[in-house]
Amino acid sequence: MNTAPAQTEFAKGLAGVTAGRTAICSLEGGLRYRGYDIEPLARAGDFEEVAYLLLHGELPTPAERAAFGERITAAATTVDPAALDALATLARTSPHAAPMDALRTGISMLGLLERDDTPGPRPALIAQAERLLGQTPALLAAWMDLSTGRPVAAWPGGSIAAALLSRLTGRTPTAAQVAAFNTTLVLYAEHEFNASTFAARTVVSTGSDMHSAITAAIGTLKGPLHGGANEKVLEVLGEIGSADRAEAWVREQFAAKKVVMGFGHRVYKDGDVRAKLLGRLCREMVRGTPGDALEDLADRVERIMLEAKGLKPNLDWPAARVYHALGLPVKVFTPIFVVARMSGWTAHVIEQIGDNRLIRPTSLYCGPALREYVSPADR
């Protein structure tokens, strides 16, 4: 007979629970990718370099970086026409569907077309990951064309940041704009066992395939408590309107017990280092332009949140403002997060497959005690 005491405690939301090991990213003492501090990586602003680091474990040589970029561009320019045809059909019937939903569906279709049923050997997984790095921004750009009734434009080539920014804005970006966009991709690339990454690892822990894992990750990232927060940030700033309304608006949110999007983080208690880096870049980027007014408003909200609740901004707070300054529509903010995080997701999928055990936590039951079944006639 089992006389062990019943379990009465659990970690809601798995807060503070160590669920595994990873060599990809560390949050102890600051954010590091494969041992490299995030600040010099962000300042270098080369997303392909960071993606290579996450997937291959080391920074690339110039020759490796060039070949890697060529493989990504090749993937972006050779997306299976059947996937684009399917998206075109969806765009005709559901032109107002969210780009996140289109991306989730597009990645799932690519898995079907590749017949991605079970994980292959490591070299095959790396090749899949590299293709997804190119296919994902191409799918996003294609959907934005198709959902507005335009034919799909050609992928312009070059870096992911330059090509995607050009495709989403319809303009040739300046070098400064590409650099800022690249920095956001670097900062969004990876973040340890966050919700979407953990979802992807859970999927492949069952023996499932990479495309299934990425589809689940996109669905997870869509939520406003995860990646969807960057779209909500601009709504918040638009709702407040001006710096002189900031305090009243924030107090209203507190009174209604509402979350102010873009603030606080489950892991960073002393502020998100990524937000600090990007916040400075954003202010420099818009200085002397009409964007200064939005930055003044953002600064005012930051001060109020810190004084009233001790909360500091997370990455979504400045990222939304950078994307707005770049002329990007709000509905692509979270899909851009997908483009960047594809590097981290696929690296984690490969790591999980390489040292796998089925992820299967237990739960603490809190329902009725044992009950006797009563037949339908006696109910």
Classify the phi-psi angles of 272: left when phi > 0, otherwise alpha if psi is within -120 to 50, otherwise beta.
beta
pLDDT in tens, 134-170: 999 999 999 999 999 999 999 998 999 999 999 999 9
Q: What is the model's pLDDT at position 1? A: 46
Q: How many Cβ atoms are within 10 Å of 146's Cβ, its own excluded?
A: 20
Phi (first) and psi of residue 44, to 5 degrees? -65, -35
Provide the edge-to-edge strand list for the sheet that holds 32-33. 25-26, 32-33, 36-37
Among 225, 286, 285, 290, residue whose Cα is nearest residue 261: 225
The fold of the 229-325 domain, in CATH, is: Cytochrome p450-Terp; domain 2 (1.10.230)
Phi (first) and psi of residue 373, to 5 degrees? -70, 135
Q: What is the model's pLDDT at position 7? A: 64
pLDDT in tens, 100-124: 999 999 999 999 999 998 899 999 9
Structure tokens at 149: 């009734």
- Residue bearing tokens 């680091």: 53
User: Cα–Cα distance between 136 and 76 in angstroms, integer?
Assistant: 8
Q: Helices (DSSP H) in 256-290: which residue ranges?
A: 273-286
- Residue bearing tokens 């990232």: 221
- 260 contacts 250 by C-beta, under 8 angstroms: yes
Q: What is the model's pLDDT at position 11? A: 84
- 42 contacts 273 by C-beta, under 8 angstroms: no
Considering the chain, what is the average pLDDT of its residues?
A: 93
User: Cα–Cα distance between 28 and 109 in angstroms, integer?
Assistant: 38
Whole-angstrom CA distances from 40 to 55, 133, 216, 318, 328 are: 19, 22, 31, 19, 26
Tell me the CATH number for domain 23-222+329-354: 1.10.580.10
Beta bridge partners, 33, equal 25, 36
CATH 1.10.580.10: which residues of the chain?
23-222+329-354
User: Cα–Cα distance between 115 and 212 in angstroms, integer?
Assistant: 11
User: Cα–Cα distance between 67 and 61 in angstroms, integer?
Assistant: 10
Among 227, 160, 232, 231, residue whose Cα is nearest residue 199: 227
Q: Helices (DSSP H) in 78-159: which residue ranges?
A: 81-93, 99-114, 122-146
Q: Which of helix, strand or coil describes residue 372? A: coil
User: Cα–Cα distance between 290 and 329 in angstroms, integer?
Assistant: 18
- 136 contacts 128 by C-beta, under 8 angstroms: no
Structure tokens at 308: 């009233």
- 297 contacts 243 by C-beta, under 8 angstroms: yes
DSSP 8-state class, residue 28: T
Q: Cβ neighbours of residue 47 under 8 Å, at least 6 residues apart?
A: 159, 160, 161, 182, 185, 186, 189, 340, 343
Beta bridge partners, 263, equal 313
Residue 144 buriedness (CB in 10 A; 0-12 / 13-18 / 19+): buried
From first CA to last CA, the distance across the chain in angstroms is 34
- 205 contacts 352 by C-beta, under 8 angstroms: yes
Structure tokens at 371: 């009950």
Q: Cβ neighbours of residue 243 under 8 Å, at least 6 residues apart?
A: 293, 296, 297, 299, 300
Q: Which residues are catalytic, by number? A: 265, 316
CATH 1.10.230.10: which residues of the chain?
229-325
Q: Which residues of the chain have pLDDT under 70?
A: 1-8, 269
